Structure 1
Amino acid sequence: MYYSIAIDGPAGAGKSTIAKEIAKKIHFIYVDTGAMYRAIALYFLREGIDGHDTERISEECPKIRVTLGYDGEGRQQVFLNGENVTPFIRTEEVGKMASLTAAIPAVRAALLDLQRDMARTSNILMDGRDIGTNVLPDASLKIYLTASSAVRAKRRFDELKAKGTDCDFAQIERDIIERDKQDMEREIAPLKKAEDAVLVDSSELSIDEVVDKVIAEYNKIILPE
């Protein structure tokens, strides 16, 4: 029997950071679904495709192959048609395109089967926007990880500043709020908390505190009283 953990939540809530730490501690395979959507978004940007051009995007999807691999230190790498695009998918531009195009049925279909197959063959931890509600509705544990828009903007601001990138805090928060709206209002698999998901607000919690909280929920499943 394999276990699966689904972590959903808005942009900047710390899903990837938290998920990687948990997966490492409980020896699960971590699947960054957001990175997979970002890889597809990068393809569209490189091809000069308008993110609103649903017809063109649907035509291009059969040409796109996204796969996951791991480097020598166990870090997940994302491949787009055989090219390791891990260093290129974390820009704001790619993130906005990913949020826009993830709502298109052809894009979601291109990744859905791959993601579900992973859950059938391994103990996995998957994070994204609709894992517990759509991708893995029967996940062993569902977490909805959130934080205030101000806290999420501050985290992103600090991250960009650390990289030497000039940025504006107010604009970052506006972008986050707009992305939340876009993700929550899309017709296909919108961002929302699954009915049976455990809500975790990380606004005033450290990474370690969130990790411990989620692992405690997982232990309730595998070590019932």
Structure 2
Amino acid sequence: MLAKIVVAIDGHSGCGKSTLARDLAREIGFRHIDSGSMYRAVTFYFLENKINAKNQSELSDAISSLDLSMQINPDGTTALYLGEQLMTTQLRTAAVNESVSEIASIPAIRSHLVAIQQGLGQHGGVVMDGRDIGSVVFPGAQLKIFLTASLLKRVERRRLELERNEINISADEIRKNLKHRDHVDSTRKVSPLLQMEDAVLIDNTNLSRQEQLAMVVALVKVRAASTMELN
């Protein structure tokens, strides 16, 4: 039986963080927590309610009224709710894609969601993906992974994802959006995207989904065994 470690997966948009995290959590029997979906849900909430995030009073009221929750499904996956609304395709619209980096860079929002994420993973046995999991949310995670892939591969993956959700955007627009998000994520003052020194770097440009999973499962087994020895 594996020790209930925390696995942190970080990387740029379109690198396949959530896909790997879901596959890994299912394979090893851990919970998967997609922190990016939480930021997307907040972005959706702000857009739907026409909240001006630059207005401090509106921002404070919006954060106070946020009702985000996660439920664990029988198969071990998690479902994200905004109030009573299940968040699925709403999180992948063009409007959310264009605004999520700016909303996620607001310190008050990051602080609020980081606290929620830390609470969800405090007992271990979780695979959490995002952009600041290994650096801010769980700096003591027993296994940190930093995913990367070529821009061309990332554009292709995002295009296929959008097509599955019946969203039609050109490859050029996707490329521009990814490059913009890379810049915002890497240069924001609060919780910028960083590759930590103790993170395992994986370039999955030419890896199949199965190859990537096998590689990370092997890493988890080593780190989990080390954790059990220390305890």
Report the TM-score, using the length of structure 2 for normalisation: 0.90
> What residue number does 2:47 align with?
45
The alpha-carbon distance between structure 1 residues 162 and 47, as it changes in their structure 2 partners (threshold 3 A), is closer
Question: Partner of 2:9: helix, strand, or coil?
Answer: strand
Q: How many pairs does the alignment contain?
A: 225
Question: Partner of 1:127: helix, strand, or coil?
Answer: strand
> What residue number does 1:102 align with?
104
Of 107, 129, 132 in structure 1, the residue corresponding to residue 131 of structure 2 is 129
Q: Aligned partners of 1:124 and 1:149: how far apart in 2?
A: 28
2:13, 2:182 within 8 Å by CA — same for their partners in 1? yes
Q: Aligned partners of 1:72 and 1:24: how far apart in 2?
A: 11
Deviations 1:88-108 (A, max 9, x none): 112132133221111111111
Of 2, 5, 17 in structure 1, the residue corresponding to residue 4 of structure 2 is 2
The alpha-carbon distance between structure 1 residues 54 and 97, as it changes in their structure 2 partners (threshold 3 A), is farther
Q: Aligned partners of 2:25 and 2:130: how far apart in 1?
A: 15
Q: Aligned partners of 1:152 and 1:30: how far apart in 2?
A: 22
2:9, 2:17 within 8 Å by CA — same for their partners in 1? yes
Q: Aligned partners of 1:121 and 1:33: how far apart in 2?
A: 17
Q: Identify unmatched segments of 5+ residues in structure 1.
A: none
Pair 1:221 & 2:223 matched: yes
> What residue number does 2:206 align with?
204
> What residue number does 1:86 align with?
88
| Alpha-carbon RMSD | 1.9
Q: Aligned partners of 2:45 and 2:165: how far apart in 1?
A: 24
Q: Aligned partners of 1:70 and 1:87: how far apart in 2?
A: 19
Deviations 1:183-219 (A, max 9, x none): 1011100011111100001111111111111111112
The alpha-carbon distance between structure 1 residues 51 and 24, as it changes in their structure 2 partners (threshold 3 A), is same
In the TM superposition, what is the alpha-carbon distance from 1:109 to its structure 2 partner?
1.8
1:31, 1:126 within 8 Å by CA — same for their partners in 2? yes
Q: Identify unmatched segments of 5+ residues in structure 2.
A: none
2:32, 2:77 within 8 Å by CA — same for their partners in 1? no
Letter in 1 for 2:51: I
Q: Aligned partners of 1:5 and 1:13: how far apart in 2?
A: 17
Question: Partner of 1:25: helix, strand, or coil?
Answer: helix
In the TM superposition, what is the alpha-carbon distance from 1:57 to its structure 2 partner?
2.1
> What residue number does 1:12 align with?
14
Pair 1:173 & 2:207 matched: no
> What residue number does 1:120 align with?
122
The alpha-carbon distance between structure 1 residues 46 and 15, as it changes in their structure 2 partners (threshold 3 A), is same
Letter in 1 for 2:144: K
Letter in 1 for 2:63: C
Deviations 1:6-55 (A, max 9, x none): 00001010000110000011111110111111111111001112455555
Moved more, 71-80 or 165-174: 71-80
Q: Aligned partners of 1:95 and 1:161: how far apart in 2?
A: 14
The alpha-carbon distance between structure 1 residues 74 and 4, as it changes in their structure 2 partners (threshold 3 A), is closer
The alpha-carbon distance between structure 1 residues 82 and 109, as it changes in their structure 2 partners (threshold 3 A), is farther
Q: Aligned partners of 2:224 and 2:72: how far apart in 1?
A: 27
Report the TM-score, using the length of structure 1 for normalisation: 0.92
